[in-house]
Structure 1
Amino acid sequence: SLRRSRSKHLTMSSSSPRTAMARDSKKKKKKRLKGSPVSKLTDDILADIISRVPYKSTCCCQCVSTRWRDLISHREHQKKMPQSIAGFFHEGSNAFRSPRNARYFTNLSRQRYPLVDPSLSFLPDCERLDILDGCNGLLLCHCWMAVDPMAFYYYVVCNPTTGKWVAVPATDGSSMVSVARLVFDPAVSSHFQVFEFIDEQSRGIAEDELDADCCGRIEALAIYSSKTGAWKYQTVEHGPFVIPENSVSAFFNGILHLPAYECVVAVDVEGANWWLVDVPEPPYYADCIGGVFPSQGHLYFAESDRSKLSVWVLEDYVTGKWTLKHNVSHLHLFGREYSSFADYYSVISIHPEHGLIFIVSGEEKTLMSYDMDSGELCILRQLGWECRPPYVPYVRLFSESLGDEN
């Protein structure tokens, strides 16, 4: 009898009011989560709700649950989700530093540390790695062979956010190609294409046979598809045109656009259809070219002359019709305090969701943003005198799928 009484007493002690309250709280919480109104929403409705919040909030939504993460990453919902430039990849070279060549990532947020590790340490070891281009969250890189740094090894297409990467075999002329671009649309497919624009010298034409009036003329195009795992070639019959090495490309509405001298070259993903669209205003000197940028559902062309910055929007490919969207004098753009920036600067990007232009200028390569709506110029940070183009804008991509990834 005493033993039964003691056992009963222990049982009552273990069920103290505090323990009982905690147990009831867990039950209520579980019941509340199970019957949450959000859990009852269909994927389409939930995706539509998330698409209406700012980009930073969308990134936070990735951490709510595996359902939300997969929902945001799904390509059927990619077009609905807000996009924002997280920052820029760029490189620098300094003979007094080791290593001599360094790679950086500059945040556009106010976070102290980079959102992305610029070392791309998840990639295989190679003697040298150069970032050539970026498109919708993926990067196109050159990898040089460790045993022979002068021998071209392969391309790598990678996603810095997820650490996924795919090796792309080089062509016979890849080591001599100066213009290679990446094409990728996560809303359409997980596969990508790599474009090589092959000029006369890369094609092996002798120097005495080169066209003196159009040196560096593009002669052929090679396209690699991650879906087929092969390159295809075709002769370029449109032109002549010359694409500068560091021209800023834009992939928009299934078409790759590259600024050339006095025109914009446009080609579809199959390389079957070409357009040569005259620029709105010829450059004021031979080495000056503008840039093409997709933003807010349109294709923009930004160029500068000795006195102003002009931004145009393309209305028609066939007629080459451009409409002037914005025009600002250098005095109004930079003010007297930064008037020296007007001597040399370049537009490196336009925000995909807003009328915000990103500019690099001055000896210290100062990164600035200019709001076309408010006319406000904002000094973001100095990248350093050693930094050089390309300045590759990066939009974070959370999708795990990448062609035939490793």
Structure 2
Amino acid sequence: MQKMKKLKSSLNGDIMFDILSRLPVKPLLGMKRVSRGWRAMISSFPFIKSQMEKTGLSLTGFIFQEKFQWCSDDIKTVSHIALDSQSSKKVLHNVFDFLPEYVVILASCDGLVCCRSCFPCSDPSVYLCNPSNKEWIRIQWPWHKLKPSRNESIGIAFDFDSDSRKECNEIFVKFKLVKLQFCLDEYEDEDEDDDEEWYIEFHVYSSETKEWKVSSEVCHCDHNLIKNKGVHIGGVLHWLTDGDQVLSFDVEKELALLISVPVPAFEFSTVPEACIGDHNGKLHYVLVSEIGLHVWYLEDYYEFKWTLKHFKDLDEIEREYPQFFLNLKNHVSQRVSMESSPWMNPLGFKDGVLLLKVCATLYLYDIDNNKISHACYVQDLSPKSMHDPTVFPHCLSLFPLKLA
């Protein structure tokens, strides 16, 4: 009789495991409160791995944070723009209020978010957190060696399937952070006066050693980093620069590469706007110009081979969505200098979805299904400064944050 009860309990557990592991993350987060047994099962390594294999990570929205152009203080408000059109609230504010202080978002990868303390701050910290389960860890930072800067750029390299393990029935997450440090190299030229050259150092933090180290790799680059900093794809981090290049860094091999974009800005009569993102495990480059909206993906890193995946003429976009756009091409064509704000600005791209700002409105453009929907208005984001906002895609995930 006892054996029959154990068998029945085991079969019921297997059935429940199979059913629940087919559900998306959002309902599972609520189901963890049903009982201790369900919480233990949903939090286990086999369950999270199975749920990932069956459902994958789906884009839920974009994290949006503004920054002042000329002020050294940070803007504390962080907004989440929901992808779900059925959501009761398309924009949520203060989504990181579970952290011990106000933060600035630095990077996002597979549901994990890296951020730092808002400035001014007497004792700044770096955090890695999962907003889905509100777990976070504070990461040691060598402030005494490197003066904290408002323009810090840190990327996350994280892969739950390959970089996590189960020991003693607990899940330990492995990840690396990569911080870019601009340095000035001064040298003497035999034929000329003293000269100088900018280069980038890569400071790497490992969750296994819990220490930062300076990589032997450097990259000679004097361009500014803009938008979508630290996009992680297959173990490689990517930063878009304002010099018609994408900086990439292979985290395991610690090798850097500058990748030329498909079309340089000087080939257009107006000033184009671009962003980068990930779709199907490939780096994508989205560009808006007076010609139209282009989406390329990178086929080969070393040959800089880009393939055009999608193109839409601006007049065609206006014809298909007259309720949203008027004189689109004319407005875009009027931008002839970097000093003027772009009328049409691609802010973020992930899994075929583009967050697009047009004048004072934000739209979601589903490239694969050729569908544009209204996301929100700029005023919904509690705007203080629309200069170069930080935008990252975000996915809900069950990944716990526990270090070995």
Q: What TM-score comes out, normalization by structure 2 length?
A: 0.72
8 Å CA contact retained: 1:194, 1:224: yes
Give the unaligned 5+ runs of structure 2. Answer: 69-73, 165-172, 188-193, 333-341
For 1:332-356, what per-residue CA distance to the aligned partner results, in whole angstroms no more than 9, with x for missing partners?
234455246663233233343xx33
Look up the equivalent residue of 1:314 and give its one-letter code.
L
Q: Which residue of structure 1 lines up, in the alignment, with residue 297 of structure 2?
A: 313
Q: Which residue of structure 2 lines up, in the alignment, with residue 356 of structure 1?
A: 353
Written as runs of structure 1 = structure 2, the 5 A alignment for 1:81-92 is 81-92=55-66
CA separation of 1:62 and 1:263: change in aligned 2, threshold 3 A: farther
**Equivalent position to 2:288, from 271, 291, 304:** 304
CA drift at 1:36: 9.3
Written as runs of structure 1 = structure 2, the 5 A alignment for 1:143-222 is 143-144=117-118, 149=120, 151=122, 153-171=124-142, 172-176=145-149, 178-187=152-161, 188-189=163-164, 190-200=173-183, 210-211=196-197, 217-222=198-203
CA drift at 1:178: 3.3
User: Is it true that 1:118 corresponds to 2:101 in the alignment?
Assistant: no
Look up the equivalent residue of 2:390 and give its one-letter code.
P
Measured in 1, the distance between the counterparts of 2:200 and 2:375 equals 40
CA separation of 1:387 and 1:68: change in aligned 2, threshold 3 A: same
CA separation of 1:73 and 1:36: change in aligned 2, threshold 3 A: closer
Name the one with the larger strand percent.
2
User: Is it true that 1:290 corresponds to 2:262 in the alignment?
Assistant: no
Q: Secondary structure at the match of 2:62?
A: strand
Written as runs of structure 1 = structure 2, the 5 A alignment for 1:384-395 is 384=379, 385-386=383-384, 388=386, 389-395=389-395
Measured in 1, the distance between the counterparts of 2:45 and 2:210 equals 28
8 Å CA contact retained: 1:268, 1:274: yes
8 Å CA contact retained: 2:273, 2:346: no
Give the unaligned 5+ runs of structure 1. Answer: 1-30, 212-216
User: Is it true that 1:108 corresponds to 2:83 in the alignment?
Assistant: yes
Measured in 2, the distance between the counterparts of 1:346 and 1:256 equals 23
Q: Which residue of structure 2 lines up, in the alignment, with residue 367 of structure 1?
A: 362
CA separation of 1:80 and 1:297: change in aligned 2, threshold 3 A: farther
CA separation of 1:315 and 1:58: change in aligned 2, threshold 3 A: farther
8 Å CA contact retained: 1:142, 1:156: yes
Q: Which residue of structure 2 lines up, in the alignment, with residue 400 of structure 1?
A: 400
Q: Secondary structure at the match of 2:315?
A: helix
8 Å CA contact retained: 2:90, 2:375: no
8 Å CA contact retained: 1:331, 1:339: no
Q: Secondary structure at the match of 1:398?
A: coil
CA drift at 1:54: 6.3
CA separation of 1:271 and 1:347: change in aligned 2, threshold 3 A: farther
CA separation of 1:42 and 1:266: change in aligned 2, threshold 3 A: farther
Look up the equivalent residue of 1:399 and give its one-letter code.
F
CA separation of 1:60 and 1:158: change in aligned 2, threshold 3 A: closer
Segment of structure 1 superposing worse, 220-229 or 183-192: 183-192
Measured in 1, the distance between the counterparts of 2:155 and 2:362 equals 24
For 1:302-357, what per-residue CA distance to the aligned partner results, in whole angstroms no more than 9, with x for missing partners?
112222111111111121111111011122234455246663233233343xx332
8 Å CA contact retained: 2:129, 2:401: no
Q: Which residue of structure 2 lines up, in the alignment, with residue 133 of structure 1?
A: 107
Measured in 1, the distance between the counterparts of 2:30 and 2:318 equals 36
Measured in 2, the distance between the counterparts of 1:351 and 1:105 equals 15
Segment of structure 1 superposing worse, 82-91 or 57-66: 57-66
8 Å CA contact retained: 1:152, 1:174: no
Segment of structure 1 superposing worse, 114-123 or 318-327: 114-123
Q: Which residue of structure 1 lines up, in the alignment, with residue 345 of structure 2?
A: 346
Q: Which residue of structure 1 lines up, in the alignment, with residue 306 of structure 2?
A: 322
Q: Secondary structure at the match of 2:311?
A: strand
8 Å CA contact retained: 1:218, 1:236: no
Measured in 2, the distance between the counterparts of 1:82 and 1:294 equals 15
Measured in 2, the distance between the counterparts of 1:186 and 1:340 equals 46
Q: Which residue of structure 1 lines up, in the alignment, with residue 240 of structure 2?
A: 259
Q: How many correspondences in the alignment?
A: 348
8 Å CA contact retained: 2:356, 2:364: yes
Higher Cα radius of gyration: 1
Measured in 2, the distance between the counterparts of 1:262 and 1:93 equals 23
Q: Secondary structure at the match of 1:134?
A: strand
Q: Secondary structure at the match of 2:160?
A: coil
CA separation of 1:76 and 1:106: change in aligned 2, threshold 3 A: same
8 Å CA contact retained: 1:91, 1:387: no
Look up the equivalent residue of 1:281 and give its one-letter code.
V
Measured in 2, the distance between the counterparts of 1:100 and 1:159 equals 21
For 1:369-405, what per-residue CA distance to the aligned partner results, in whole angstroms no more than 9, with x for missing partners?
123244222112113253641122211122223336x
Measured in 2, the distance between the counterparts of 1:240 and 1:93 equals 24
8 Å CA contact retained: 1:218, 1:243: no
8 Å CA contact retained: 2:226, 2:239: no
CA separation of 1:160 and 1:73: change in aligned 2, threshold 3 A: farther
Say what the alpha-carbon RMSD is for the aligned residues: 3.7
8 Å CA contact retained: 1:315, 1:321: yes
8 Å CA contact retained: 1:55, 1:84: no
CA drift at 1:134: 1.3
8 Å CA contact retained: 2:227, 2:275: no
Segment of structure 1 superposing worse, 85-94 or 262-271: 85-94
